[in-house]
A and B are shown apart, each in its own frame.
Chain A
Amino acid sequence: MQTLCAVLVGVMVAASVYLILDRNLIRFIFGLILVGNAINLLIFTVGRLDSQRPPLITVHATAAQETLANALPQALILTAIVIGFALLSFIFVLFYRAYQELGTVDTELMRVAEADPNDQLPVSTPQPGESA
């Protein structure tokens, strides 16, 4: 099981590196989702997958009788998932706004679009809906 998970993490990271290196920001987002999940799976796997028993101790016992599933990695992953979700929703909005303003999702073309002499003031506040 652990070997399988390790190989799976490797494949997912490899695929996400391929996607992240793409100039297209949409592909970058897919790569980011994939690598985020790969890392969560990695944390899950390094927490050892020896046992499927829930980490509960019987009444009046002070220690576990047999090996239990490790609960900590799950708590860590839960935190990482929540944070990852927030970041992902932010990044979707950011990329969408960048697409509206710059008219492209290709990072190379973005640089050309950004070099606009009419956009001098850093604090300019364009109206919503006003786009290229």
Chain B
Amino acid sequence: MSGLLIFPILLPMAGGAAAILVKSNPRASLLLALTGAGLHALASGLLLYHVHLNGILATQIGNWPAPFGITLVADHLSAVLVMITAIVNLAVTSYSKADIDAALIDRGHYPLLQMLVCGICGAFLTGDIFNLYVWFEVMLMASFGLLVLGQSKSQLYGGVKYVVINLLATLLFLTAIGLLYGLTGTLNLADLHMKVPLIANRGLLEAVAILFLAAFGIKAALFPLFFWLPAAYHTPPVAVSAIFSGLLTKVGIYALIRVFTLVFTFDMSYFYSLLLVMAALTMITGVLGAAAQNEFRRILSFHIISQVGYMAMGLALQTRLALAGTIFYLVHHIIVKANLFLVSGVVQRLQGSFELAQLGGLYRSNGKIAVLFFIPAFSLAGFPPLSGFWAKMILIRASLDIHQYGLAFVAAVVGLLTVYSMTKIWAEVFWKPAPPANHFTDAMMRRKTSTWMLAPITALALLTIIIGFGAEFVFKFAEQAAEELSHPQYYVHAVLGKR
């Protein structure tokens, strides 16, 4: 059983190590990465299946009994996120074949990609808060490398900002872990759930909670802490920005959900009011920021921020339905957002630019791409029956249920403004006649697309449609995950045994 939990971490780690050996050979690199991604998807699928059938799965690494050793745990939330990570990894690995040139492969694109996936899955599966910090670092180091691999000016400048702010977030996280350990004497998340309510010094505990909020808020790009994201995400190759956009901020959201449903479970109403305000402002600033941009990937980057706001909103509402909405949103968003970045890469391939002003006429010249953009874009904006509609509807419904009318209003308006941004891209890139060729869009810059690019985009678009039409199944799953989150005793029982 324990193998199920270890393989989603071990496979990309081994794949990453092996990929270093063959990095000078693009063909072998790709073969190895594809095999690794395929096996990883298989292992994640098995884990998800097992968790769905048998409930929360936990294992103690090295057989050290629970609060002393390192625990790996998979509940519904972890398992589904690992599965989606594997799907995005597979898509991005395939896309890299066409997007990443031999020079970047030689510098280590595939090893870094695999290590990034390893760090992300480790963060999703660990049951130990210090171990979570370690996986965050694995993930960060790999993402630093991927971001600046091309070493262009814009990448280095974006990289400096990204590295600086993320390091500070990690240090805040480490401080919070240190203080929490000083208060409770344990690092195991399940054990923390038992020990934290016994702490008499409530004030100090709340200060630690706020430190966690700040640290994860930076990772997740919540309202006053998001400025690093649009500064960096448009600079790396498309394959890299796709996996970043899909997964990195969501690890922050996952950590927020985990820590605030499992560890800080005592009544902190002012804290959740703060999170509500942050979530609303995140949605609004993100979508307004996007409205002001005229570059394909910058628009999409700002939309990551506004979408993260929706997920934080679900956590802040604290009801089971709202948590289910957040989980639905996570599943929907990761697939859709990664796909949109991949589409932006195809458009850049065909027309040589990310600037909306220099693009146009794709609806006429390449209708297939138009359809492939339309599906994720209008899913993101929340058109029925695509996946985004259900995700938004559950969250708005959850906020109406507990009379948070203001928040429901904000969520609905931000959805409308998302439509504005998506129609802007649609009108500029697809409907507008193609602009006369200039030195940016001359024939040299235009390259052909390949099946390696279109296949993952089509697959992810299909997945969006499947989630949209199979919404009831996904929602039931999300409800089950939310049920586990709102009753931490299941988690504690799986890790510590009977108490």
New contact pairs (8) apart from A28-B164, A95-B160, CB-CB < 8 Å: A43-B174, A46-B183, A79-B134, A87-B141, A101-B156, A113-B157, A122-B154, A123-B101
B134 touches A114 (CB 8 A): no
Give the dominant DSSP class at B's interface.
Answer: helix
Give a binary string over A117-129; 1 marks a CB under 8 Å from any B CB, 0 the rest: 0011111111000
In the assembled complex, the CB of B168 is this many whole angstroms from the nearest CB of chain A, namely 7
Interface stretch of the complex, out of B48-56, B143-151, B283-291, B307-315: B143-151
A35 touches B148 (CB 8 A): no
Which A residues, 94 to 128, have Cβ-Cβ distances below 8 Å to chain B? 94-95, 97-98, 101-102, 107, 110-111, 113-114, 116, 119-126
Give a binary string over A1-41; 1 marks a CB under 8 Å from any B CB, 0 the rest: 00000000000000000001000010010001001100100
A28 vs B237: C-alpha distance when bound (angstroms)? 28
**Which of the residues B137, B144, B179 comes within 8 Å of A94, measured between beta carbons?**
B144
**Chain A CB within 8 A of B18 CB:** no
A36 vs B173: C-alpha distance when bound (angstroms)? 12
B152 touches A124 (CB 8 A): yes
B152 touches A35 (CB 8 A): no
Q: Name A100's closest neighbour in chain B (CB-CB).
A: B156
**Chain A CB within 8 A of B328 CB:** no
In the assembled complex, the CB of B162 is this many whole angstroms from the nearest CB of chain A, namely 10
Q: Given A39-B171, A80-B174, A90-B141, verify A107-B156 contact (CB < 8 Å).
A: no
In the assembled complex, the CB of B297 is this many whole angstroms from the nearest CB of chain A, namely 9
Q: Given A122-B235, A122-B237, A123-B152, verify A91-B178 contact (CB < 8 Å).
A: no
Kindly list chain B residues whose C-beta atoms are within 8 Å of the C-beta of A90: 141, 144-145, 163
Q: Which residues of B contact A (CB under 8 A)?
A: 101, 103-104, 130, 134, 137, 140-141, 144-145, 148, 150-157, 159-160, 163-164, 167-168, 171, 174-175, 177-179, 181-183, 234-237, 440
B175 touches A97 (CB 8 A): no
Q: Given A39-B175, A122-B237, verify A102-B168 contact (CB < 8 Å).
A: no
Kindly list chain A residues whose C-beta atoms are within 8 Å of the C-beta of B182: 45-48
Kindly list chain A residues whose C-beta atoms are within 8 Å of the C-beta of B235: 122
**Which of the residues A86, A111, A125 comes within 8 Å of B104, measured between beta carbons?**
A125
In the assembled complex, the CB of A4 is this many whole angstroms from the nearest CB of chain B, namely 16
Kindly list chain A residues whose C-beta atoms are within 8 Å of the C-beta of B236: 122
**Which of the residues A47, A94, A110, A122 comes within 8 Å of B152, measured between beta carbons?**
A122
Q: Given A47-B182, A114-B154, A123-B104, verify A94-B160 contact (CB < 8 Å).
A: yes
Kindly list chain A residues whose C-beta atoms are within 8 Å of the C-beta of B234: 122
Number of inter-chain CB pairs below 8 Å: 108
A96 vs B478: C-alpha distance when bound (angstroms)? 46
B137 touches A83 (CB 8 A): yes
**Chain B CB within 8 A of A42 CB:** yes
**Chain B CB within 8 A of A57 CB:** no
Kindly list chain A residues whose C-beta atoms are within 8 Å of the C-beta of B179: 42, 46
5 A-B pairs (CB sep. < 8 Å): A43-B177, A94-B144, A95-B160, A101-B151, A102-B157
Kindly list chain A residues whose C-beta atoms are within 8 Å of the C-beta of B175: 39, 42
Q: Name A79's closest neighbour in chain B (CB-CB).
A: B134
Q: Name A25's closest neighbour in chain B (CB-CB).
A: B160
Q: Given A123-B150, A123-B237, verify A94-B156 contact (CB < 8 Å).
A: yes
**Which of the residues A39, A46, A94, A124 comes within 8 Å of B150, measured between beta carbons?**
A124
**Which of the residues B104, B150, B153, B178 comes within 8 Å of A102, measured between beta carbons?**
B153
Kindly list chain A residues whose C-beta atoms are within 8 Å of the C-beta of B103: 125
**Which of the residues B130, B160, B174, B183 comes within 8 Å of A39, measured between beta carbons?**
B174
A114 vs B154: C-alpha distance when bound (angstroms)? 6
**Which of the residues B104, B141, B151, B167 comes within 8 Å of A32, measured between beta carbons?**
B167
In the assembled complex, the CB of B102 is this many whole angstroms from the nearest CB of chain A, namely 10
Q: Name A116's closest neighbour in chain B (CB-CB).
A: B153
Kindly list chain B residues whose C-beta atoms are within 8 Å of the C-beta of A91: 163, 167
B151 touches A20 (CB 8 A): no
Kindly list chain B residues whose C-beta atoms are within 8 Å of the C-beta of A46: 178-179, 181-183
Q: Name A35's closest neighbour in chain B (CB-CB).
A: B171
Q: Given A42-B178, A125-B104, verify A83-B160 contact (CB < 8 Å).
A: no
B137 touches A87 (CB 8 A): yes
A87 touches B157 (CB 8 A): no
Kindly list chain A residues whose C-beta atoms are within 8 Å of the C-beta of B140: 87
Q: Shortest 3 CB-CB distances between A and B: which pairs?
A: A46-B182, A43-B178, A114-B157
Kindly list chain A residues whose C-beta atoms are within 8 Å of the C-beta of B164: 28
B144 touches A114 (CB 8 A): no
**Which of the residues A73, A95, A110, A122 comes within 8 Å of B155, measured between beta carbons?**
A122
In the assembled complex, the CB of B127 is this many whole angstroms from the nearest CB of chain A, namely 17
Q: Name A110's closest neighbour in chain B (CB-CB).
A: B157
Kindly list chain B residues whose C-beta atoms are within 8 Å of the C-beta of A32: 167
Give a binary string over A50-77; 1 marks a CB under 8 Å from any B CB, 0 the rest: 0000000000000000000000110010
Q: Name B160's closest neighbour in chain A (CB-CB).
A: A98
